[in-house]
């Protein structure tokens, strides 16, 4: 952990350690309260059943749509209409305000050393210092027969003699594996004929490891004394220690060195970068000359960042800064903007193109289309509301036939359905329940301007099916249990928000924002 880098990173984001750590502590305290409320939320089986009845509810509906295209031929747009609309909505018929910017970046990527800047002796020194990391240690595959030893000298001598006797049998040609199964006191390897598998440096006690390293493939050792007893060891296989050469590791060492130097250069220049931009707010020239950095420029772009030729404009913070009062109106350098890890930028406006009115001739077709749409939407709504009022008064839905319209056949829909239309389904579930088979009616203008009339004929609650006992032991999650957990979470969030609202309502809060803004304007 680098305390200096930690503090530099916070400074580049406009914070200091005290402020940052306070925010973290405060967030942890707030989360404690929130988690406590969330975990205390309780959803009973009855609550869950009621939710299922509502969520799985079905409604039988019929509908008709009055399309705006029905009125296309009846709409007339005059030159006066076009001119009036052009004047009334002048702001809509303007080119957007645009700016181009000059900016200077500072990033680790820009500070990477070239091949010519790298000292070969430095890389070789790093190689020697880290040689252990480039070494794959050797491994051995061996078998052993363990003769355990008790504490007394007599026992040690007896164990040694027994080991010598077993070794003599091996030298005489008897099977090592079978002798291990018969005589070894190591329960872990005994049944496997003494097989220890593969192991590396440090996995075995030192006398054992030293003896293994001294063996050749297939050799059997003399009895080796360790804290566990006497071992007879046979080396079955081995892989040698391998160290990658400097030539093999040079590229990696170079990249690591470049990255470390670039990071060091970056954090070494961050404060100076910010100070130069602040102390010389009317130009980026001092900044570029002092830090030997080149400024770059963009083409014109609007507040939406429409020009994507310049990669810098993919960052919303850059666009916000370019149109800020400090940069656009006062003509000053921006604050230091962090746009990535170890990547900051300062900018200023290069060119400014104010919003301008587009010629009426250029906007004529667009205005005609807008007025036509507006009027056909209005006529569809007038006819729809008229039919709705007539149906409510006389209770006869067939009156729509006089307008050449007809109802769709009745059909059941669920809350999540998107047919016949998502807005129609949503509105149908806002309506009440039909009483004594008396249909309910509603009218709604759709997003595309068409007007829809809806008939609600019947409501059918969702069916609650209890979990079967066998389902509780199933590995497949029960959807109802998952739904219950989601409901508990939603209820907990609601209760927490209610708690916060209550605390705000009873707290004495003094807001000095208005006073501060008045002082700033002086």
Q: pLDDT digit string (tens) for 474-515?
A: 556 666 677 778 878 888 888 888 888 888 888 887 777 666
- pLDDT at position 519 is 52
- Dihedral sign of CA atoms 508, 513, 514, 515 in order: positive
Q: 194 in a domain, yes or no?
A: yes
Binning pLDDT at 50, 70 and 90, where does residue 302 land? Answer: very high
Average pLDDT value for residue range 295-307: 87
pLDDT band at 116 (very low <50, low <70, confident <90, very high): low
The whole-number pLDDT of residue 522 equals: 46
d(CA 248, CA 136): 14
Asked if 385 and 447 sit in the same domain, the reply is yes
How many domains are there within the chain?
3
Cα dist. 452→134, 381, 427 in Å? 74, 9, 10
Q: Cβ atoms within 10 A of the Cβ of 20, count?
A: 15
- CB neighbours (10 Å) of residue 268? 12
**Pair (343, 399) in one structural domain:** no
pLDDT greater than 50 at residue 120: yes
Q: Choose one of 415, 434, 460: the last residue of a domain.
A: 460
23 within some domain: no
Assigned domain for 303 exists: yes
Q: Rounded to whole angstroms, what are the CA distances from 360 to 78, 81, 372?
A: 14, 12, 17
Q: 299: which 2 tokens?
A: 């083409």
Structure tokens at 267: 């954090």
- The pLDDT of residue 238 is above 60: yes
pLDDT the model gives residue 521: 47
Domain with residue 181: its CATH number is 3.10.50.40
pLDDT-based confidence at residue 461 (cuts at 50, 70, 90)? very high
> What are the E-state strand segments in 314-450?
337-340, 343-353, 356-357, 411-414, 440-445
Pairing of strands 296-297, 98-107: antiparallel
Q: Is the pLDDT of residue 276 over 70?
A: yes
Per-residue pLDDT at 76 exceeds 90 = yes
Is the model's pLDDT at 233 over the cut of 90? yes
Q: Do 103 and 69 fall within a single domain?
A: no
Same domain as 364, residue 348: no
The reply to whether 142 and 234 lie within a common domain is yes
Q: Of the residues 206, 240, 274, which one is the last residue of a structural domain?
A: 240
Q: Is residue 5 in a domain? A: no
Residues 87 and 107 in one domain: no
Q: Which three-class secondary structure state does DSSP give residue 306? A: coil
Does residue 458 carry a pLDDT above 80?
Answer: yes
E strand segments, 419-450: 440-445
379 and 326 assigned to the same domain: no
Residues 294 and 320 in one domain: yes
Q: Where among 334, 354, 374 does a domain terminate?
A: 354
User: 305, 281, 325: which is closest to 99 by C-alpha?
Assistant: 305
CA distance 163 to 302: 89
21 in any annotated domain? no
Check whether residue 288 and residue 267 sit in a common domain. yes
Rounded Cα distance between 55 and 188, Å, is 60
More confident call, 477 vs 45: 45
pLDDT value for 476:
63
pLDDT over 70 percentage in the chain: 93
pLDDT at 490: 84
Q: Is the pLDDT of residue 113 over 70?
A: no
Residue environment code for 458-495, b if the CB has 16+ CB neighbours within 10 A, otherwise e:
ebeebeeeeeeeeeeeeeeeeebeeebeebbeebbeee
Q: Are 211 and 124 in contact (CB under 8 A)?
A: no
Q: Is 50 part of any domain?
A: no
Residues 151 and 235 in one domain: yes
Q: What does the alpha-carbon distance between residue 477 and residue 481 come to, in Å, rounded to a whole number? A: 8
In a domain, 279, yes or no: yes
Longest Cα–Cα distance in the chain: 123
Residue 201's pLDDT band (boundaries 50, 70, 90)?
confident
Sheet of strand 224-226, all strands in order from the earlier edge strand to the far edge: 195-200, 139-148, 229-239, 224-226
Q: In what order do the strands lie in the sheet with 440-445?
A: 411-414, 58-66, 451-460, 440-445
**Full domain range(s) for residue 156:** 138-240
Sign of CA dihedral 101, 106, 107, 112: positive
pLDDT of residue 160: 93
Q: Where are the beta strands (DSSP E) in 42-138?
A: 58-66, 94-95, 98-107, 135-136
Name, of 59-63, 292-296, 342-346, 508-512, the range with top average pLDDT.
Answer: 59-63
Tell me: do 297 and 227 sit in the same domain: no
The structure tokens listed for 13 are 């984001």
As beta bridge partners, residue 233 has: 144
Q: Are residues 454 and 367 in the same domain?
A: yes
pTM of the model: 0.50
The whole-number pLDDT of residue 285 equals 95
pLDDT of residue 382: 97
Residue recorded with tokens 């924002």 = 513
More confident residue, 480 or 238: 238
Lowest model confidence (mean pLDDT) among 114-123, 385-394, 462-471: 462-471
Report if residue 437 sits inside a domain: yes
- What is residue 328's DSSP assignment? I
**Is residue 131 a contact partner of residue 243, using CB atoms and an 8 Å limit?**
yes
Which residues are 105's β-sheet partners?
Answer: 345
Q: What is the pLDDT of residues 15-29, one digit of tens each?
A: 788 888 888 988 888
Comparing C-alpha atoms, which of 322, 301, 266 is closest to residue 107?
266
pLDDT at 381 over 80: yes
CA dihedral of residues 111, 115, 120, 122 (deg, nearest 10): 10
Q: Which two tokens stand for residue 492?
A: 């907990």
What's the whole-number average pLDDT of the chain?
Answer: 88
3-state secondary structure of 199: strand
Residue 520, pLDDT > 70, answer no
Range from 116-125, 127-136, 171-180, 421-430 carrying the lowest mean pLDDT? 116-125
């Amino acid at each position: 952990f680098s305390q200096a880098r930690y503090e530099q990173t916070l400074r580049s984001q406009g914070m200091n350690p005290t402020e940052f750590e306070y925010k973290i502590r405060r967030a942890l305290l707030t989360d404690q309260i929130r988690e406590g409320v969330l975990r205390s939320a309780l959803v009973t089986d009855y609550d869950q059943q009621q939710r299922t009845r509502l969520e799985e509810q079905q409604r039988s509906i019929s509908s008709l749509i009055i399309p705006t295209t029905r009125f296309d031929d009846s709409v007339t747009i005059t030159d006066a209409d076009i001119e009036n609309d052009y004047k009334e909505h002048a702001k809509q018929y303007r080119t957007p305000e645009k700016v181009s910017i000059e900016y200077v970046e500072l990033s680790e990527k820009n500070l990477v050393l070239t091949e010519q800047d790298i000292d070969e002796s430095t890389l070789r020194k790093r190689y020697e210092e880290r040689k252990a990391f480039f070494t794959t240690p050797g491994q051995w595959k061996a078998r052993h027969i363990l003769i355990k030893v008790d504490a007394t000298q007599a026992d040690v001598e007896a164990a040694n003699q027994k080991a010598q006797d077993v070794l003599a049998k091996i030298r005489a040609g008897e099977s090592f594996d079978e002798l291990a199964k018969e005589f070894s006191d190591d329960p872990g390897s005994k049944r496997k004929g003494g097989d220890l598998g593969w192991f590396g440096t440090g996995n075995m006690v030192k006398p054992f490891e030293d003896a293994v390293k001294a063996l050749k493939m297939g050799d059997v050792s003399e009895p080796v004394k360790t804290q566990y007893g006497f071992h007879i060891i046979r080396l079955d296989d081995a892989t040698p220690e391998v160290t990658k050469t400097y030539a093999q590791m040079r590229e990696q060492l170079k990249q690591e060195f470049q990255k470390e130097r670039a990071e060091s250069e970056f954090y070494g220049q961050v404060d100076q970068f910010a100070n130069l931009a602040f102390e010389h707010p009317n130009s980026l020239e001092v900044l570029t000359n002092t830090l030997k950095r080149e400024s770059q420029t963009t083409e014109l772009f609007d507040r939406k960042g429409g020009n994507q030729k310049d990669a810098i404009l993919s960052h919303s913070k850059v666009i916000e800064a370019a149109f800020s009062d400090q940069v656009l109106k006062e003509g000053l350098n921006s604050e230091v903007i962090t746009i990535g890890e170890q990547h900051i930028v300062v900018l200023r406006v290069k060119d400014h193109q104010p919003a301008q009115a587009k010629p009426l001739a250029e906007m004529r077709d667009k205005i005609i289309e807008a007025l036509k749409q507006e009027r056909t939407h209005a006529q569809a709504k007038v006819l729809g509301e008229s039919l709705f009022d007539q149906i409510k008064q006389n209770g006869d839905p067939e009156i729509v036939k006089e307008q050449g319209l007809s109802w769709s056949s009745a059909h059941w829909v669920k809350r999540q359905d998107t047919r016949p239309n998502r807005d129609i389904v949503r509105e149908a579930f806002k309506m009440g329940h039909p009483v004594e088979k008396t249909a309910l009616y509603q009218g709604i203008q759709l997003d595309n301007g068409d007007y829809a009339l809806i008939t609600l004929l019947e409501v059918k609650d969702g069916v609650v099916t209890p979990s079967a006992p066998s389902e509780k032991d199933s590995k497949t999650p029960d959807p109802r249990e998952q739904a219950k957990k989601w409901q508990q979470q939603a209820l907990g969030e609601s209760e927490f928000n209610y708690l916060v609202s209550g605390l705000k309502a009873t707290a004495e809060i003094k807001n000095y924002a208005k006073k501060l803004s008045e002082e700033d304007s002086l």
